[in-house]
Amino acid sequence: MDKTSVTAAHRLTSALVTSLLAAFLTAGTADAALVDVPSPDNYVRRSLARATVLNNHVYIEGGQIVQMEDGFRGIRGRVENQVNSTLSIPLNESWKSESVTIKATPKPFTSLSRNNWYLWTDPKEGVFYAWGGYWPFGQEMVTDEVYKFTADDQGGGEWGVETLANGVRLDQLNPGEAGAFTSTGTMGIVIGGQSTPWTQLGRDNTRQLSGMVTFDFESKAMMNGTQRFSPFGDTPVVGASAEYISGIGENGIVMVFGGHVGRTDKEIPIGEMDFFDMRNITFFDPVTKEAWSQVTTGDIPPSPRIGFCTAAFSTKEGGHEVFIFGGENKRDTLVYEDAYVLSLPGFVWTKLPTPPGGERMYHTCVAVGNRQVLSVGGRETEDEGQKPDKIPQGLLLFDMTELKWKLEYDANAAVYKSASSIKDWYKQR
């Protein structure tokens, strides 16, 4: 048997064992330990997950969860436990945060239970790819792969390992977390990030990563580079967020928000690094790699900021808005309790009503149902685990047209239009 066959057989055996284990962990009653989807009454808090939209479902991938067990919030020696299933919520029907059913699909590989994945979504093929992130507690680490999830129409799907086509070896790249990532419809992008002993097998230090990595959905080619490839050249970017906006120029643009200026020569705490101010936004053409920067006006969000979430929307009239929510200021050791919208082409910020549920960081956001943002999970402090989330099941929604926070999803919401206050700003100018 050749090496490829042995590896495939090993993966198949591992998948079977892990699938049985995951099924056991997710099939218990409401008061059983280690469920990935506890009952709403037993839910305490979820964080460090990623989310994407495919086939009329939101898929929630990775992260850690705190839940009640026999009246206590600690589970078998730990407050938080890793999530061992791919979760999904339907978008073709309306629901309330307090009662919506979350579906759990067991994972076939133990290496899929990670935090802060990079997710690249190909809606045309109904798949998303997962790479990077970090292993909870630095346990059960393996050599990294690019994983592929093929979604079905019922909120489930199948996991597999993707083969790269251009000969780039993953062991020549540093898988990391805290990079700015997004998808353009034809490629996945990661800018910067950092590699730590919890992101890469065999690593014994922490280093910030320079450059940008791209993954082509059609050719399966993975490339990385700095000058004339990354919008920041060889400057490491840590903790930023990226959003792709189509309809601007021939190829659309990728916008990068927040984060810190990393160091590749030595290890220093993120809170001591220089940072990227929200006043000045960098954006670039994902095909030509040409980059620009633009100074913004209005209610500019305070900086520094990492661990926040973003979502982008476009109107039929050609306008675009980017929503940002929460995050952490490691320099001043505080967590933000705020949200803003950046409107294009005016590059003007608008402060939104204060979010319910308190401060929030390390959550994930996706655009859903024409004009709504769904925020999933999040923490209030670094040592989270003891404070129950005030938001039912951690599912908080925001209506981008009404500029209102809600605890229910409207599957029949009207087509997105900019809020009246944003329209008024353009009329006055």
* 3-307 matches 308-429 in fold: yes
Distance (Å, rounded) from C-alpha 102 to C-alpha 96? 12
Beta-strand relationship, 297-298 and 348-351: parallel
| pLDDT tens digit sequence for 290-317 | 999 999 999 999 999 999 999 999 988 8
Q: What is the CA radius of gyration of the chain?
A: 21
Distance (Å, rounded) from C-alpha 410 to C-alpha 416? 13
φ, ψ of residue 78 to 5 degrees: the values are -130, 145
Q: Kindly report the three-state secondary structure assignment for every residue of 406-422.
A: ECEECCCCCCCCCCHHH
Percentage of the chain beyond pLDDT 70 is 88
Find the mean pLDDT for residues 357-364.
96
- Quick one: pLDDT band at residue 383, thresholds 50, 70, 90? low
- The vertex-71 CA angle with 65 and 73, nearest 5°, equals 30
Query: Is pLDDT above 50 for 15?
Result: no
Look up the CATH number of domain 308-429.
Answer: 2.120.10.80
Cross-strand pairs, 214:
189, 223
* pLDDT at site 80: 78
Query: Is pLDDT above 50 for 29?
Result: no
How many CB atoms are located within 10 Å of the residue 294 CB? 13
| pLDDT tens digit sequence for 208-259 | 999 999 999 999 999 999 989 999 999 999 999 999 999 999 999 999 999 9
Find the mean pLDDT for residues 9-18.
37
Look up the CATH number of domain 3-307.
Answer: 2.120.10
What does 178-226 look like in DSSP terms, one character per residue?
S-EEEE-SSEEEEE--EE-TTTSTT--S-EE--SEEEEETTT--EEEES
Report whether 305 contacts 328 (CB < 8 A): yes
Find the mean pLDDT for residues 100-106.
97
The helix (run of H) or strand (run of E) holding residue 4 is: helix 3-26
H helices present in 360-402, as ranges: none
Judged by average pLDDT, the poorest of 20-24, 236-240, 352-356, 391-395 is: 20-24
Query: Is pLDDT above 90 for 2?
Result: no
| pLDDT tens digit sequence for 37-76 | 999 999 999 999 999 999 999 999 999 999 887 666 655 5
Query: Is pLDDT above 70 for 338?
Result: yes
| pLDDT tens digit sequence for 150-186 | 999 999 999 999 988 876 666 678 899 999 999 999 9
Distance (Å, rounded) from C-alpha 202 to C-alpha 217? 29
Query: Is pLDDT above 90 for 98?
Result: yes
Report whether 394 contacts 388 (CB < 8 A): no
* pLDDT at site 401: 96
* pLDDT at site 168: 65
* pLDDT at site 12: 33
Q: What's the Cα-to-Cα distance from 120 to each of 236, 244, 255, 388, rounded to whole Å? A: 21, 12, 16, 31
Query: Is pLDDT above 50 for 263?
Result: yes
Find the mean pLDDT for residues 408-424.
95
Find the mean pLDDT for residues 396-409.
98
Distance (Å, rounded) from C-alpha 377 to C-alpha 100? 15
Query: Is pLDDT above 70 for 20?
Result: no
* pLDDT at site 14: 39
Sorted by where each begins, the domain ranges of the chain are 3-307, 308-429
Report whether 310 contacts 241 (CB < 8 A): yes
Give the single-character DSSP code of 10: H
Report whether 196 contacts 176 (CB < 8 A): yes
Report whether 130 contacts 52 (CB < 8 A): no
Q: Kindly report the three-state secondary structure assignment for every residue of 327-343.
A: CEECCCCEECCCEEEEE
Beta-strand relationship, 103-106 and 85-90: antiparallel
Distance (Å, rounded) from C-alpha 285 to C-alpha 244? 10
Helix (H, G, I), strand (E, B) or coil at 65: strand
H helices present in 60-156, as ranges: none
Can you point out the beta strands (E) in 352-418?
364-368, 372-376, 395-399, 404-406, 408-409
Query: Is pLDDT above 70 for 77?
Result: no
